[in-house]
Amino acid sequence: MRKQLFALVVVALCFSQILFAQTPAGSLSLSPATGTYPVGANIEVQVLIDSGGEPVKTCQTYINYDATALSITASGITVDEDVFDFKLIKKVDAAKSQVQIVYGCNETEPPVGNAILFATLKFKALKEGVTAVTFDQPNSRAQKSGAIDLIGAWNDGSYTIGGGPKKWEFTTDAEGWLNTGQVLPFDAPDYAHSATAPGTLNITCNSTNTYGFWYKDAAVDNIAADTLYRARFAVKSDQADKKMTPTFRLRYNASNFMQGDALTVNSLGEGEASPDDSAYKTYDLYFRPQHQAIGTGITGTLSFDLINVESEDAAVATLMLDWVQLDKMPIANAGTPTQVQLYTFDTGGEGWTNSGQIPLGTFDAPQFEWIEEGFGALAMQTVSNYCYGFWQNEQTQIAMDQAVLYQIRVKIGNEAIPAKVAAALPTIRVRFYDHEANQMVGTFQSPVWKTYEEPVTGGKDFAFDNYYAYFNNKYGMGGNLGVAVEVINLDSSAPAEVRYAVDEVEISTLAVPTF
């Protein structure tokens, strides 16, 4: 009996050694196996075969991915059909989030090697995080003649998304950008995606009373404090004469409407700041989310607006958006600002003037005054829920430099009004522009709509905050920097009378950042 048991053990050991010896030496690998990519980037991954010294007659790969983090279409699968020339399957199974590729080789001398290129996959990065791309191991294999498996190992991939720029290129579709349709009382523009190279989002006006826009919700996410963003838009017009190109505007809005930043480009003068039909020009919108525009669940929308209300511009015209790239950096990395001008208003208006009772449409004018109250400030008090006006600097005081990024800090506050019920507050908007061409006009506003909170003091104190705006006059021909601080009270739920005080305005410069 012992001899029989010993014989069985020997046979078992020999059989296990035979099985071990027959484990295929080849492998399937994803290359690169790791990498860091920005949201919106294309991630190209090669599928490589190590044939273990044997010729490869067929290869099938079933590759799993996270559809919330990556996207891919059948057009994003490229097989080396010079070698693998017999196609059986090449598709994306969206229901399974799986890329399925099965090809054979009819060559008389099938490939042999340790890094045979089978296919290239082109994924699109959708959201920040770490995501895996893996082989479905039971179904992913390469074989030689006789259907003998060559694969004994599978090397998957893991990719980090985030930290770099997002980019929308519109090569094959609108990439999640939507249009607003008609905004009454304006005429609606025509919207179209063009797949003709390079791939564009188009917006066409048919009158000089046209307004509409393309927009991307949640384009800005994972927002952190003290972060400077640059949204760069590549824009072209179909107009040979730049003076005829309609006005357009680039915008960022916080999803809770607590902040909005914009850059408006007008074809005034000779239209130097505007694009024509010869080439794309890039325009940079800088913004820094702050205060209530930062918080859990708060994102930001990017928009590309057409505003054709100038009778001197072309009534029928098309603007083409080739791509949008969103970059960001910690504000500390932008360098130390160099102060150009500081207005404290401690002893007077320092050359600032108000809009007074000049005609501003049918709006009521605020009440303006310089107030001392221990700190010195320029005051504006709304008088109704249809009120607009502003304080404006001496526009020829600060020479414009196109080679710098301006940082405009405004210290402003509203006067506490006790026992007010929750309502909206008037909007404060900071406007900056190339005086006197007015070809490039930036704005920062907060709030777009804001809930009024009952103050804790119950007194008449001003509660001040610093607000930061950024402006690079890339193309505008105006020789000086104009700055205005505006109050806009158009919300019927806001108090009719709210008093604001502008305590300081500081103009500084930074080197134009390299992201």
pLDDT tens per residue, range 84-115: 999 999 999 999 999 999 999 998 899 999 99
Q: Which tokens hold the place of 86?
A: 């017999």
Res. 19: pLDDT tops 50: no
pLDDT of residue 495: 84
Q: Which tokens hold the place of 214?
A: 């393309």
Q: Which tokens hold the place of 234?
A: 């590549």
Contacts of 59 (CB under 8 A, 6+ apart): 49, 84, 101, 102, 103, 118, 141, 142, 143
Give the domain range for residue 414.
Answer: 167-511
pLDDT of residue 7: 39
Binned at pLDDT 50, 70 and 90, residue 425 comes out as: confident
Q: Are 487 and 392 in contact (CB under 8 A)?
A: no
Q: Are 287 and 253 in contact (CB under 8 A)?
A: no
Residues 188 and 47 reside in one and the same domain: no
Query: What CATH number should be reported for the domain holding residue 143?
Result: 2.60.40.680
pLDDT tens per residue, range 278-302: 999 999 999 999 999 999 999 999 9
Residues 269 and 219 reside in one and the same domain: yes
Cα–Cα distance between 245 and 265 in angstroms, integer?
10
Residues 156 and 202 reside in one and the same domain: no
Cα–Cα distance between 483 and 407 in angstroms, integer?
11
Residues 222 and 346 reside in one and the same domain: yes
CA distances from 411 to 295, 369, 433, 447 (A): 22, 17, 19, 15
Residues 132 and 262 reside in one and the same domain: no
Q: Give SS3 for 209.
A: coil
CA nearest neighbour of 77 among 61, 55, 58: 61
Assess if residue 99 is contained within a domain.
Answer: yes
Q: Give SS3 for 254.
A: strand
Query: What is the model's pTM?
Result: 0.72
Q: Are 343 and 232 in contact (CB under 8 A)?
A: no
The DSSP code sequence of 424-493 is B-PEEEEEEEEETT--EEEEEEE-SS-B----SS-S--EEEEEEEEEE--SS---SEEEEEEEEEE--TT
Residues 300 and 201 reside in one and the same domain: yes
> Given 163, 185, 214, which residue is the final one in a domain?
163
Assess if residue 20 is contained within a domain.
Answer: no
Assess if residue 7 is contained within a domain.
Answer: no
pLDDT of residue 68: 94
> Given 133, 163, 193, which residue is the final one in a domain?
163
Binned at pLDDT 50, 70 and 90, residue 367 comes out as: very high
Residues 151 and 180 reside in one and the same domain: no
Residue 394: asked if its preceding bond is cis (omega within 30°), the reply is no
Mean pLDDT (whole number) for 427-432: 95
pLDDT of residue 423: 56
Residues 181 and 88 reside in one and the same domain: no
Assess if residue 9 is contained within a domain.
Answer: no
Residues 185 and 322 reside in one and the same domain: yes
Give 157 or 107, the one with higher predicted confidence.
157
> Given 163, 188, 204, which residue is the final one in a domain?
163
Residues 101 and 183 reside in one and the same domain: no
CA distances from 463 to 225, 281, 455, 499 (A): 21, 42, 9, 11
pLDDT tens per residue, range 59-68: 999 999 999 9
CB atoms closer than 10 angstroms to residue 15: 10
Residues 227 and 149 reside in one and the same domain: no
Cα–Cα distance between 33 and 160 in angstroms, integer?
11
pLDDT of residue 16: 35
Which of these ranges, 74-78, 245-249, 389-393, 423-427, has the smallest mean pLDDT?
423-427
Q: Are 39 and 53 in contact (CB under 8 A)?
A: no
CA nearest neighbour of 433 among 486, 487, 480: 480
Assess if residue 17 is contained within a domain.
Answer: no
Assess if residue 1 is contained within a domain.
Answer: no
Q: Are 465 and 428 in contact (CB under 8 A)?
A: no
CA nearest neighbour of 228 among 261, 257, 250: 261
- Structural domains in the chain (count): 2
Query: What CATH number should be reported for the domain holding residue 314?
Result: 2.60.120.260
Binned at pLDDT 50, 70 and 90, residue 438 comes out as: very high
Residues 153 and 171 reside in one and the same domain: no
pLDDT of residue 416: 65
Cα–Cα distance between 431 and 439 in angstroms, integer?
13
Res. 155: pLDDT tops 90: yes
Long-range contacts of 105-112 (CB under 8 A, 24+ apart): 105/56, 105/57, 105/58, 107/83, 109/55, 110/55, 110/56, 110/57, 110/144, 111/49, 111/51, 111/55, 111/56, 111/83, 112/51, 112/53, 112/54, 112/55, 112/56
Average pLDDT, the chain: 90
* % helix, strand, coil for the chain, step of 5: 5, 50, 45
CA distances from 512 to 267, 323, 434 (A): 24, 21, 17
485-496: burial string, b at 16+ Cβ within 10 Å, e else:
bbbbbebeebbe
pLDDT tens per residue, range 320-351: 999 999 999 999 999 999 999 999 999 999 99
Give 9 or 166, the one with higher predicted confidence.
166
Res. 17: pLDDT tops 80: no
With tokens 């480009």, the residue in question is: 265
